[in-house]
Amino acid sequence: MSSVNSRLRAIFSKSVPAKTKVKPKSNVAAKSSDISAFPEETKLLKLVNKFKKSCEDPKFRCKHSIYRRTVRRLANAKKFSMIEDVLESQKKYDSIRVEGFANRLISLYGESGMFEHAHKLFDEMPELNCERTVKSFNVLLKAALDAKKFDKVVEIFKEFPLRVSVEPDLFSYNIVIHSFCEMGSFDDALSMFHEMEGNGMEPSLITYNTLLNALYRNGKFLEGERLWTMMEGENIAPDVRTYNARLRGIFIGDAGLEADEVISEMERKGIKPDLVSYNALIKGFCDGGNLKEAMKWYGELQKNNCRPDLVTFATLIPACCNAGDLVVAYELCLKAIDRRVLLKAAVFKNVVDGLARKVKYDEASELVKLVNSASHLNYKLE
């Protein structure tokens, strides 16, 4: 196993110094907008009250996805005090003694960018008579990651095992490695990789996928390829997500690898490209101004029974507009509306304007009409 370490070290030491690309911190927990329109505010208040009422039913409290959807909606509207209201009120139910239930609340706080609240709830678990295990520890780590408090992930990971009697497991390491990757600290990610091996944990496919995704995304294609080889040396087989990371990577910098080569390699190994694979190719070629090749892969996507989604349309339609292919853009719009895809108004607007410039007034007004009568879209054009 130590040979793995030295080989991995070699992968990183050969690498060009990282242009540390850290995602901008989204200030999710910022102050909510004061100029909120009353009707929306009232609607959300009603939602909160209805939700809290429903929670009285123990069966309702098992519905994980409704919790998630409700909280996500409040978070999108930046109604953080409503989120607090909803989640804190859960403490009065005996469900809170079930670790999985408390964990859910912690992760909802994390997804809402409310890490302080997540942490507080974790601290309160003992007094709420809820047992804490390595699982809740990992949920707290993930909550910090979701809230983009990357430094907190590291801090908690290093301090907690000392204070609370939990030992980090494979999941914990994977989350910390992810966090270092988000920070652009590949060397630290690497030392975590070593440390987990030292503690008798084998890096898993997820560990590799996490690292590979970060390397390819940051234009470190060669380092990615070396790590890939090493992974296969450990008899860990790549899956479709590993390949998708690589597909995204071939468009960043001069990777020197063709999309067709990767796709045929996947086919040889019996790994079916999925929607994310095709979207990666479409995005890659659109970004490079090669609409023709992007459309080829759009065709492949359909041939292979994938359903184009928001990402597909939102990539292809503007690219068609830029290339002056208004008829294709128009047809894609029709399809997107038919499929009830939630495209932004600006995407349609662009096509309408382009059609008008090309004196295709019939199509332009037809598109306006269709958008305005689409029940799934909550805006009107013109």
Q: What angle do CA 148, 153, 154 make, to 5 degrees?
A: 130
| DSSP character string of 285-305 | HHHTT-HHHHHHHHHHHHHTT
User: Measured from the CB atom, is 265 or 309 closer to DNA?
Assistant: 309
Q: Which of 62, 98, 201, 205 binds DNA (CB under 7 A)?
A: 205
Output the smallest distance, CB 359 to DNA, in A.
Answer: 28
Secondary structure of 303-362 in the HEC alphabet?
Answer: HCCCCCCHHHHHHHHHHHHHCCCHHHHHHHHHHHHHCCCCCCHHHHHHHHHHHHHCCCHH
Instruction: Show contacts with DNA in window 162-181 (CB under 7 A).
Output: 169-172, 174-175, 178
Using the contact rule CB under 7 A, the part of the chain among 121-129, 155-163, 188-196, 279-287 near DNA is 279-287
- For residues 24 and 58, the answer to whether their CB atoms sit within 8 Å is no
Instruction: Show contacts with DNA in window 132-161 (CB under 7 A).
Output: 134-135, 137-139, 142, 145
Output DSSP code: residue 376.
T
Q: Which of 66, 98, 206, 356 binds DNA (CB under 7 A)?
A: 206
Instruction: Print the binding letters for residues 83-112 with DNA: x by CB under 7 A, - otherwise.
Output: ------------------------------
Q: Could you give the count of Cα atoms lying within 13 Å of 318 in the half-sphere of its Cβ?
A: 14
User: Measured from the CB atom, is 289 or 358 closer to DNA?
Assistant: 289
Instruction: Show contacts with DNA in window 209-228 (CB under 7 A).
Output: 209-210, 213, 217
Output the smallest distance, CB 155 to DNA, in A.
Answer: 18
Longest dimension (CA), the chain: 71
User: Measured from the CB atom, is 62 or 134 closer to DNA?
Assistant: 134
User: Measured from the CB atom, is 46 or 358 closer to DNA?
Assistant: 46
Output the smallest distance, CB 123 to DNA, in A.
Answer: 18
What are the distances in angstroms from CA 332 to CA 250, 338, 359, 375? 26, 10, 19, 18
Q: Which of 7, 9, 63, 72 binds DNA (CB under 7 A)?
A: 72
- For residues 128 and 91, the answer to whether their CB atoms sit within 8 Å is yes
Residue 248 binds DNA, judged by CB under 7 A: yes
Output the smallest distance, CB 362 to DNA, in A.
Answer: 27
Secondary structure E strands in the chain: none
Residue 29 binds DNA, judged by CB under 7 A: no
Alpha-carbon distance of 233 to 227, in angstroms, equals: 10
Output the smallest distance, CB 128 to DNA, in A.
Answer: 20
List of residues 6+ apart from 373 with CB closer than 8 A: none
Output the smallest distance, CB 240 to DNA, in A.
Answer: 5
Alpha-carbon distance of 47 to 8, in angstroms, equals: 51
Residue 65 binds DNA, judged by CB under 7 A: no
Alpha-carbon distance of 264 to 335, in angstroms, equals: 29
Instruction: Show contacts with DNA in window 309-368 (CB under 7 A).
Output: 309-315, 342, 344
Using the contact rule CB under 7 A, the part of the chain among 114-122, 151-159, 207-215, 261-269 near DNA is 207-215
Q: What are phi and psi of 140, to 5 degrees?
A: -65, -40
User: Measured from the CB atom, is 14 or 198 closer to DNA?
Assistant: 198
Closest CA relative to residue 108, chosen from 145, 148, 143, 155:
143
Output the smallest distance, CB 333 to DNA, in A.
Answer: 14
User: Measured from the CB atom, is 106 or 367 closer to DNA?
Assistant: 106
Residue 241 binds DNA, judged by CB under 7 A: yes
> How many residues make contact with DNA (CB under 7 A)?
52
Closest CA relative to residue 167, chosen from 194, 142, 132, 219:
132
User: Measured from the CB atom, is 104 or 117 closer to DNA?
Assistant: 104
Alpha-carbon distance of 357 to 106, in angstroms, equals: 52
Residues that bind DNA (CB under 7 A): 43, 69, 72-73, 76, 134-135, 137-139, 142, 145, 169-172, 174-175, 178, 204-207, 209-210, 213, 217, 239-242, 244-245, 248, 274-277, 279-280, 283, 309-315, 342, 344, 375-376
